[in-house]
Amino acid sequence: MSWFIARRLLSLAVTLLLATVVIFAVLEIVPGDPARLMLGINATDDAVATLREQLGLNQPVLMRYLSWIAGMFQGDLGHSFTYGSPVAELIGERIVVSLPLALMALAISTAIAIPVGIYAASRRGSATDTAIMAVTQFGIAVPNFWFALLLVYFFAIFLRWVPAGGFAGWDEGIASGFRSLLLPAVALALPQAAILSRVARSAIIEVLGEDFIRTARAKGLTRRAALWRHALRNALIPVVTIMGLQFAFLLAGTIIIENVFYLPGLGRLVYQAITQHDLPVVQGTVLFLVGFVVVTNFLVDITYAWIDPRLRRRGR
Amino acid sequence: MTDPVMPHMEVGLAPETSLASRLLASRSFATGAIITAVIVAMALVSFGWTPYDVTKIVIADRLKSPSLSHWFGTDHFGRDIFSMIMVGARNSIAVALVAVGIGLAAGVPLGAWAAARRGLVDDALMRFNDLVFAFPSILSAVMITAIFGPGAVNAIIAIGIFNIPVFARVTRGAALSLWPREYVLAARVSGKGAARITVEHILPNIANLLIVQATIQFSLGILAEAGLSYLGLGAQPPMPSWGRMLFEAQTMMAIGPHMAIFPGLAIIVTVLGLNLMGDGLRDALDPRLRGKG
């Protein structure tokens, strides 16, 4: 197991290092001078030159990359051109919106998908199973931002149960915070729930065909008992894997939903930073999100290998 | 934009002769193919004819509900929503189709090369895949289009880049399962090189698999294009796009919800059609997967 973890850790480090190179390189070729963008079109050349010096933009590319990496190890991701605050601080302020939103979406998606998947698998081939599969097929096809608009129309405009957008902050109370995140979380959860329920159904059907289930049935267990006592635990392994992957992408996937609901989260921060050419914020936030994806995948891999020893052997 | 890759399939199982009959018998495939054909036909017809001019603003007709004269109603500028959906279909299909083309053109040779060479090349490809998959696709697509400028071409590049590792992975996996087969060994013994074996024996046998993956990526491309257009990073006005129609509808939800309903349904129907087609194809190619979801 320790060999497996070491290999995965090395792979994680290499991926992260390459990601820093890609992020830095892509933003290097962005057209336009950040100093001129910050000062506006009426700024004098002297003012632009002074600001470039202050921002360290006159240093060679390699030096800037290395100082960015060195700063990162000390928790310094640079300063935002537009906000004037440290990027790490901005990420800290925004993650308290995006992380609960992603967690809520994952909880909603799981709460719907697992029972639906189990129910459909246990009635494979029936009219109910066909209907459930048709609904999930529809769910996968729905763009989450369109579903968000419908939710806003019905629950915020028509029924006036929840706010149509914005986030007052957790200082206003936990209940108020959750109310603001409820519709965005439901909108994010729908396609994920559709995918997850299909994965759960498929995994359970696969396990139900295994020899050990036939043995359990031959020993006198009812189909239902075999499903609950033996099949479910085994089928949950791929489901948990997909959930891990979905969680990482839910956090990054908030970029559109946060714009629909005007939520001050990471997605909106990075979108605004991109449109305002605020490079330190773009670099820091994208790296943070990529790091989150890579670390989540690493943890999923480790958990998976811990549960299923065959994978450890395969990883050698 | 998630990056689902179809489940592992043993390639070359189904005899080619019965593929057409299995496809015709598949309700999924037939339904999906009809839906897709209708959407494509609508997009093609829009080049020559639409019920109304999509660039013409008629303030007197603004926010009209669906009726016989305007099937899907009108928007806040009095433009006919059905006509805009017809023209928008062109953009969605073109962006997603070319993005799939980029994925196929770059990903298939990469995957086939890695499977043929193994060793360092294979390792490098796997690391490249890990790297691309570490970047949440919607985030990177937004980054690319925002940095290099909004527009259909940059949207195609942004979506296409993420199709490359998907096709590379599918091609590599399928090709690896074929290399130890007897007919490939026979070809090697007869003196054929890796490139020739790939072109003559490997690619024809994994073509079906790639077609299925292409339909999946096509439907994901439609959703991705809609997302980018919604953020204002896709096709630019006056060219209508489904995503931007939804963005414009957002502030009109209280007085004109039909402005959001119909473009959204257009996206759903198109994606649904492609997914059904993909499911039907997958079932026809590997009957063991039928009904497994």
Residue range A242-256: mean pLDDT, rounded: 80
Q: How many residues does chain B have?
A: 293
Cβ atoms of B289 and B282 closer than 8 Å: yes
CATH number at residue A245: 1.10.3720.10
Number of domains in chain A: 1
Cβ within 8 Å, pair A256-B219: no
By the CB < 8 Å criterion, does B246 face chain A? Answer: yes
Helices (H), chain A: 2-28, 34-39, 45-55, 61-73, 87-122, 127-141, 144-151, 174-208, 211-218, 223-226, 232-252, 254-260, 266-275, 279-307, 309-314
Which of A11, A12, A119, A140 best probes binding to B when mutated, by most B CB atoms within 10 angstroms? A140
Burial category of B245 from C-beta neighbours within 10 Å (exposed 0-12, middle 13-18, buried 19 and up):
buried
As for the ipTM of the complex, it is 0.83
Q: Is there a domain that residue B290 lies in? A: no
Q: Is there a domain that residue A77 lies in? A: no
Contacts of B169 (CB under 8 A, 6+ apart): B5, B107, B111, B129
Is pLDDT at A315 greater than 60 in this prediction? no
Please tell me which of the candidates A124, A137, A256 has its beta carbon nearest to residue B227: A256
By the CB < 8 Å criterion, does B99 face chain A? Answer: no
Question: What span, in angstroms and rounded, lies between the C-alpha atoms of B134 and A287?
Answer: 10
Cβ atoms of B250 and B167 closer than 8 Å: no
User: Which structural domain range is residue A185 located in?
Assistant: 91-315
Is pLDDT at A147 greater than 50 in this prediction? yes
Q: How confident is the model at residue A311 (pLDDT cuts 50, 70, 90)?
A: low
Q: Is there a domain that residue A204 lies in? A: yes
Q: How confident is the model at residue B7 (pLDDT cuts 50, 70, 90)?
A: very low
Cβ within 8 Å, pair B136-A252: yes
For residue B6, give the chain A residue with the closest CA.
Answer: A199
Partner residues linked to A86 by β-bridges: A79
User: Which structural domain range is residue B151 located in?
Assistant: 24-56+69-285
Question: What span, in angstroms and rounded, lies between the C-alpha atoms of A283 and A72?
Answer: 11
Find tokens 């209708």 and name the residue. Answer: B38
Residue A279 has a pLDDT of: 83
Give the range with max mean pLDDT: A122-126, A236-240, B121-125: A122-126
Is pLDDT at A303 greater than 60 in this prediction? yes
Cβ within 8 Å, pair B219-A141: yes
Cβ atoms of B269 and B40 closer than 8 Å: no
A271 C-beta neighbours (distance < 10 Å), count: 24
By the CB < 8 Å criterion, does A10 face chain B? Answer: no
Residue range B262-275: mean pLDDT, rounded: 96
Give per-residue pLDDT as tens, B53-85.
Answer: 998 889 999 999 999 999 999 999 999 999 999
For residue A17, give the chain B residue with the closest CA.
Answer: B131
Distance from CA of B146 to the nearest CA of A (A): 6
Question: What span, in angstroms and rounded, lies between the C-alpha atoms of A76 and A88?
Answer: 7
By the CB < 8 Å criterion, does A140 face chain B? Answer: yes
Residue B1 has a pLDDT of: 45
Residue B286 has a pLDDT of: 65
A 147-186 residues inside an 8 A Cβ radius of B = 149-150, 152-153, 157
Long-range contacts of A163-168 (CB under 8 A, 24+ apart): A164/A261, A165/A260, A165/A261, A165/A262, A165/A263, A166/A261, A166/A262, A166/A263, A167/A97, A167/A261, A167/A262, A167/A263, A167/A264, A167/A265
Give per-residue pLDDT as tens, B160-203.
Answer: 988 998 999 899 988 988 888 888 889 889 988 888 999 988 99
Is pLDDT at A295 greater than 80 in this prediction? yes
A287 C-beta neighbours (distance < 10 Å), count: 21
B 183-242 residues inside an 8 A Cβ radius of A = 219, 223, 226-227, 230-231
Q: Is there a domain that residue A82 lies in? A: no
For a pLDDT cut of 90, what percent of chain B falls above it? Answer: 46
Question: What span, in angstroms and rounded, lies between the C-alpha atoms of A23 and A3?
Answer: 30
Residue range B142-168: mean pLDDT, rounded: 85
Please, what is the end-to-end C-alpha distance for chain B in angstroms?
Answer: 20
By the CB < 8 Å criterion, does B93 face chain A? Answer: no
Find tokens 């033996």 and name the residue. Answer: A230
Residue range A85-89: mean pLDDT, rounded: 93
By the CB < 8 Å criterion, does A138 face chain B? Answer: yes
Q: Is there a domain that residue B31 lies in? A: yes
Question: What span, in angstroms and rounded, lies between the C-alpha atoms of A221 and B199?
Answer: 52
Please tell me which of the candidates A11, A201, A274 has its beta carbon nearest to residue B147: A274
By the CB < 8 Å criterion, does A14 face chain B? Answer: yes
Q: Is there a domain that residue B226 lies in? A: yes
Q: Is there a domain that residue A33 lies in? A: no
Number of domains in chain B: 1
Q: Is there a domain that residue B63 lies in? A: no
Q: How confident is the model at residue B2 (pLDDT cuts 50, 70, 90)?
A: very low
Nearest one of B78, B134, B123, B135 to B252, comparing CA atoms:
B78
Residue range A248-265: mean pLDDT, rounded: 86
For residue B226, give the chain A residue with the closest CA.
Answer: A143
Q: Is there a domain that residue A27 lies in? A: no
Cβ within 8 Å, pair A294-B134: yes
Cβ within 8 Å, pair A253-B230: no
Q: Is there a domain that residue A63 lies in? A: no
Q: Is there a domain that residue A10 lies in? A: no
Q: Is there a domain that residue A175 lies in? A: yes
B 142-171 residues inside an 8 A Cβ radius of A = 142-144, 146-148
Question: What span, in angstroms and rounded, lies between the C-alpha atoms of B177 and A163?
Answer: 54
Q: Coil, helix or strand for B171?
A: helix
By the CB < 8 Å criterion, does A205 face chain B? Answer: yes
DSSP letters, B225-249, are HHHHHHTT-SSPTTS--HHHHHHHH
Question: What span, in angstroms and rounded, lies between the C-alpha atoms of A188 and B28?
Answer: 27
